[in-house]
Amino acid sequence: MEKIIVRGGKRLSGTVKVEGAKNAVLPVIAASLLASEGKSIIRDVPILSDVYTIGEVLRHLNAGVEFVDKTIIVDASEDLNVEAPFEYVRKMRASVLVMGSLLARQGRARVALPGGCAIGSRPIDLHLKGFEAMGAKVKVENGFVEASADKLRGAKIYLDFPSVGATQNIMMAAVLAEGSTVIENCAKEPEIVDLANYLNSMGAYVRGAGTGTIRIEGVEKMYGADHTIIPDRIEAGTFMVAAAITGGNVLIQGAVPEHLSSVIAKLEEMDVTIIEEETGIRVIGPDKLKAVDIKTMPHPGFPTDMQSQMMALLVCAEGTSIITETVFENRYMHAEEFRRMNSDIKIEGRSVIINGPSQLQGAEVAATDLRAAAALIIAGLKADGYTRVTELKHLDRGYLDFHLKLRSLGADIERVKDLTVETEIVETNS
């Protein structure tokens, strides 16, 4: 079994560069299916397991997908297959994002229904309501959801919740629909803006991305385009927390302050020094961290994808902090693992109460989801002794070379394949 072994106590310093955003590249690759002419060139792609998975989904759908370093070239000019089977959707829920493009291009899409996952039940009802409003017939049968429409028509769609995935799927369906679509109470995340920019460069007409209302005028045809993915704000935020917890001084290159305003505000409240520099954000950790309360919200609120990393930091802060998770109903599985590292955390419904500071202690812990994996490693940076983090498949979905990047900043960290090697490395480091 693979593990990351980290020995706490090192202050991080230096410069780290963030990759392109995983959560921007997945919808952009799904949108490349809309181009019936020309190839799309997508740059600054983080080469993660999720990116391979969406690449496999596209190949299965009869698109050409080529990886050249951090660039992906997609050729979707042939007729497409319309079915995404469970083997892909099970690996990665974001596979459902091909549905809007397939429906718009082929008039039909059949995608395995994603199950629940470690952070909640995650239904796709809002995606489907949007397709139905545009005239699609939707049915759920034998574990698949199937949508079909001879021709999608533009519609006014109000989302009960500003779902990121529903906004993206509806945008992709609407760009080739007949007439105007208005999506109200839509998601405002930077990844929505990135998708809109890509769609517009393919020939679509999308306005208002980044606000609560998106307007789309359908076009006849879309073309391959050249697009560079935005920097990953969650990877950036993760390194900001890693710098803060170790009392370090790290420049996070490529981090965009406007994408991280809520994270910056909370870190500053905790007495972390944040300096916006020309090439990124510098984070200087204090000797003592102050407790703060956090409530996760849709953007520009505090991102749920930073909740577990902040939990690691709040465990080390002086005083009582309360985290309230409003986006996912069950995103606290990591709290149990933090307890094993000697932290005082109580879960009360949708909130957790953290009494700090605790001196974290190294332990063997298991990642329960992608961000929990990063959070446990961050906790290990501050813990006494060795922390061993298992279930790294979660980490690999969203972080490229995480341990190597941390090591380049001075962390004492190894990734090992089996117990024998682990013993050797532990001895080398002690």
Ligand X SMILES: CC(=O)N[C@H]1[C@@H](OP(=O)(O)OP(=O)(O)OC[C@H]2O[C@@H](n3ccc(=O)[nH]c3=O)[C@H](O)[C@@H]2O)O[C@H](CO)[C@@H](O)[C@@H]1O
Ligand Y SMILES: C=C(OP(=O)(O)O)C(=O)O
| 305 known member of a binding site | yes
Closest separation between CB of residue 150 and ligand Y, Å? 32
Determine which residue in the list 12, 16, 23, 237 makes contact with ligand Y, applying CB under 6 A: 23
Cβ-Cβ contacts under 8 Å for 249 (sequence gap 6 or more): 11, 12, 13, 243, 282, 283, 284, 285
Q: Which is nearer to ligand Y, 222 or 256 (CB)?
A: 256
| 119 or 216: CB nearest ligand Y | 119
**Phi and psi torsions of 36, nearest 5°:** -85, -5
Segment near ligand X (CB under 6 A); pick from 12-20, 147-155, 162-170, 317-325: 162-170
Strand 386-390 to 364-366 pairing: parallel
Tokens, residue 430:
């002690």
Q: Which of 55, 168, 398, 399 binds ligand Y (CB under 6 A)?
A: 398
Q: Nearest distance from residue 238's CB to ligand Y, in Å?
A: 10
Strands 144-148 and 180-184: unpaired
Written as six digits, the tokens of 202 are 């393919």
Active-site hit among 1, 59, 87, 117: 117
Structure tokens at 250: 């790290």
Q: What is the DSSP letter of 117?
A: B
| 230 known member of a binding site | no
Question: Which of 289, 224, 301 lies closest to 261 in space, CA to CA?
Answer: 301
Q: Rule CB under 6 A: is residue 122 a binding residue for ligand X? A: yes
Least Å from the CB of residue 122 to ligand Y: 8
Q: Which amino acid is at 207?
A: R
Confirm whether 316 is a catalytic residue.
no
How far, in whole angstroms, is CA 342 from its chain's centroid? 28
Continuous segment of H or E residues that includes residue 205 = strand 205-207
Nearest approach in angstroms of CB 173 to ligand X is 14
Placement of tokens 């703060």 in the chain: 292
**What pairs with residue 51 in β-bridges?**
none
- Strand, helix or coil for residue 138: strand
Query: Tokens for 143?
Result: 């574990």
153 contributes a contact to ligand X by CB under 6 A:
no
* Per-residue binding letters, 74-93, with ligand Y (x by CB under 6 A): -------------------x
Task: Please report whether residue 94 would count as binding ligand X according to CB under 6 A.
Answer: yes
Q: Is 214 assigned a ligand-binding role in the annotation?
A: no
């999720």: which residue's tokens?
50
Residue 398 touches which of ligand Y, ligand X, none (Cβ within 5-8 Å per kind): ligand Y
Residues engaged in binding ligand X (CB under 6 A): 23, 26, 94, 120, 122-127, 161, 163-166, 191, 304-305, 327-328
- Binding-site residue ranges: 22-23, 93, 122-126, 305, 327
- Binding-site residue ranges for phosphoenolpyruvate: 22-23
